[in-house]
Amino acid sequence: MNFEKFALHEKIFAGVRSQGYTTPTPIQLQAIPPIMEGRDVMGIAQTGTGKTAAFVLPILQRLMQGPQRNVRALIIAPTRELCQQTHEVIGQLGRRTQLRSASIYGGVSIRGQIKKLNDHVDIISACPGRLLDHLDRGTADLSHIEVLVLDEADHMFDMGFLPDIRRIVKSLPAKRQTLLFSATMPSDVQHLANDLLHNPLEIRIGRSAPVETVSHRFYPVQMDTKTDLLKDLLDHTERESVLVFTRTKSRAKSVAGRLDKSGYKVISLHGNLTQQKRQKALAGFRDGRYEIMVATDIAARGIDVTNISHVINYDMPETTDAYTHRIGRTGRASKTGEAFTFVTNQDAGLAHSLKRSLGDKVAYHSVDGLTIAVPADPASRPGRKHSVTGVKTHNGNGRSFSPKGHGNKSSKQRSFKPAGHRSWS
Ligand code: AMP
């Protein structure tokens, strides 16, 4: 199957070709035809599946027909980065069309946005807060919207945006096409979908677990050894771009600072940065000036960098859904990726439930002198001794695992082959 089958307008097809897309991804295969027919669609798909083009292409196709005077399509997304990225995808795929899009989000001057909206704009890619601001000022007219897209709806729910979305929807014509994309389906998102979508076609791509192209390693570790372990992994892993997640903004900054001092090309991305600095950091990470980015969850939403070979959870995410989102940053568009997660004893509960959901895809690994024993599953019966079975060695050196401080060589003394660490399944 190729893109010709969708019978896209020649100018849109030229945009597809310019991006080098030859084969539609599964979500594109399943979603593009019904969206082109005008149906409401609920897509349960993770990031990295090609979902942006799955809704952008039919929108461009629709807007090529009819008057090009008003804003006719609205895409709402949780973060500035995602809004900006979608705006850029529209620009790339629609480059040969006359259609114009605007990205609307906070943290930048509203004046430029008002000016743009006064010009001719066909598509808006917006974050809820700034869009409401424009609606309150009367500087955005959504009365001609034909298509509404709610992207990463579960994350908009996490960020408390659902009331804003309901307010925005009141400014839209009741007769419209509505598309909702979400990696997971919490009940509040399901309720929103029930209220806003009419007889939607439900498309599920993969299960609600991290993308198949990613392998997962857990490293049991103590808090104070995390940075040494991080450096060790960076030094002994064959890698392209690496995205490191921390739980807090201050830790993103401090971990990046420590790596920088050790000579790594690193940048941090977190909510305390100005929009300009965020854009600069992202651009530098995308073009390879920085090989490592240390980010918080919110800041990293919507990052589309195809050559991220590794996601490292310096701090464990708080939920399995958050894990899914983080891991979605690697293994994009069928590339393979690896996810390394540092697990402290406090993280044992979530680590074990992730392990149950991911099964064989997860293996615990050790690094001499830097990791500790695998934490016991708090859900297992009290008094039952935790045991780890099926020890595998990657480099076949037969070394057995010994916890930190038991006479191992220091990390500097150890000689490693790439991925020469040991694992348990
Ligand atoms: P998304 O899930 O929309 O964020 O897309 C993830 C990545 O896949 C982006 O870098 C897209 O450029 C890329 N992509 C989307 N569709 C295709 C396709 N049909 N063939 C190859 N790459 C694609």
Domain boundaries, the chain: 3-204, 214-424
Nearest 10 degrees: Cα torsion 208, 5, 150, 357:
0
Residue nearest to atom 10 of ligand 1 (CA): 306
- Classified by CATH at the fold level, domain 3-204 comes out as Rossmann fold (3.40.50)
Ligand 1 within 6 A of 304 CB?
yes
Which ranges of 25-109 does DSSP label H, i.e. alpha helix? 26-36, 51-64, 80-93
Q: Which atom of ligand 1 is nearest to the CA of 51?
A: 3
Q: Which of 17, 32, 13 is nearest to 97 (CA)?
A: 13
Q: Which CATH number fits domain 214-424: 3.40.30.10, 3.90.330.10, 3.40.50.300, 3.30.300.160?
A: 3.40.50.300
Q: Which residues are CB-contacts of 250 (< 8 A; sequence separation ≥ 6)?
A: none
The pair of three-digit structure tokens given for residue 289, joined into one six-digit string: 């000036």
Query: H helices within 80-161, ranges in order?
Result: 80-93, 110-118, 128-137, 153-158
**pLDDT surpasses 70 at 22:** yes
Dist. CA 202 → ligand 1 center (Å): 21
Contact in structure between 298 and 271 (CB atoms under 8 Å): yes
| 306 touches ligand 1 (CB under 6 Å) | yes
Per-residue pLDDT, averaged over 166-184, amounts to: 95
Q: Measured at the alpha carbon of residue 336, what is the angle toward residues 332 and 342, in degrees to the nearest 5?
A: 95
**Torsion, CA 408, CA 412, CA 417, CA 420, rounded to 10:** 40
Average pLDDT over residues 125-143: 97
Beta partners for 245? Answer: 295, 313
Tell me how far the alpha carbon of residue 374 lies from the centroid of ligand 1, in angstroms.
37
* 357 vs 155, residue with greater confidence: 155
Provide the CB-side half-sphere exposure for 296 (13 A, CA): 16
Residues in the chain, how many?
Answer: 425
pTM greater than 0.85: no
pLDDT band with cut points at 50, 70 and 90 for residue 78: very high
Q: Residue 21: CB within 6 Å of ligand 1?
A: yes
Does residue 371 line the site of ligand 1, with CB under 6 A?
no
Residue 261 CA to residue 335 CA, distance in Å, equals 31
- Report how far residue 55's alpha carbon sits from residue 151's, in angstroms, rounded to the nearest whole number: 10
Is the Cβ atom of 48 under 6 angstroms away from ligand 1?
Answer: yes
CA 154 to centroid of ligand 1, rounded, Å: 20
Q: How far is CA 313 from the centre of its chain?
A: 14
* Gap between the Cα atoms of 203 and 162, Å rounded: 22
Atom of ligand 1 nearest to the CA of 47: 2
- The Cα angle at residue 91 between residues 85 and 94, in degrees rounded to 5: 135
How would residue 357 be classed by pLDDT, with cut points 50, 70 and 90?
Answer: confident
163 Cα–ligand 1 center, Å = 30
pLDDT score for 232: 96
Which of 17, 59, 332 to mutate for ligand 1's pocket (most ligand atoms within 8 Å of CB)?
Answer: 332
The Cα–Cα gap between 348 and 333 comes to: 31
* Cβ–Cβ < 8 Å for 338, 214: yes
Ligand 1 centroid from CA 182, angstroms: 16
Q: What is the pLDDT of residues 193-245, one digit of tens each?
A: 999 999 999 998 864 345 567 788 999 999 999 999 999 999 999 998 999 99
Test site for ligand 1: of 25, 44, 84, 213, most ligand atoms within 8 A of the Cβ: 25
Q: Answer yes or no: same fold for 3-204 and 214-424.
A: yes
Ligand 1 centre and the CA of 270: distance in Å? 25
Give the pairing of strands 362-366 and 123-126. unpaired
Rounded to 5 degrees, what are φ and ψ at 295? -140, 160
Contact 26, 205 (CB under 8 A): yes
How does residue 333 score in pLDDT terms, banded at 50, 70 and 90?
low
3-state SS string over 248-304?
CHHHHHHHHHHHHHCCCCEEEECCCCCHHHHHHHHHHHHCCCCCEEEECHHHHCCCC
Ligand 1, atom 6, lies closest to the CA of 48
Q: What pLDDT, on the 0 to 100 scale, is given for residue 112?
A: 95
Q: Is 334 left (phi over 0), alpha (psi -120 to 50) or beta?
A: left
Instruction: State whether the beta carbon of 47 lies less than 6 angstroms from ligand 1.
Output: yes
Cβ–ligand 1 contact at 52 (below 6 Å): yes
**383: Cα separation from own chain's centroid:** 39
Q: Which atom of ligand 1 is nearest to the CA of 333?
A: 8
CA nearest ligand 1 atom 21, residue: 21
Which ligand 1 atom is nearest residue 302's CA? Answer: 4
For the ranges 158-162, 338-342, 403-407, 418-422, which has the lowest average pLDDT? 403-407
Q: How confident is the model at residue 37 (pLDDT cuts 50, 70, 90)?
A: very high
Distance 134 CA to ligand 1 centre (A): 31
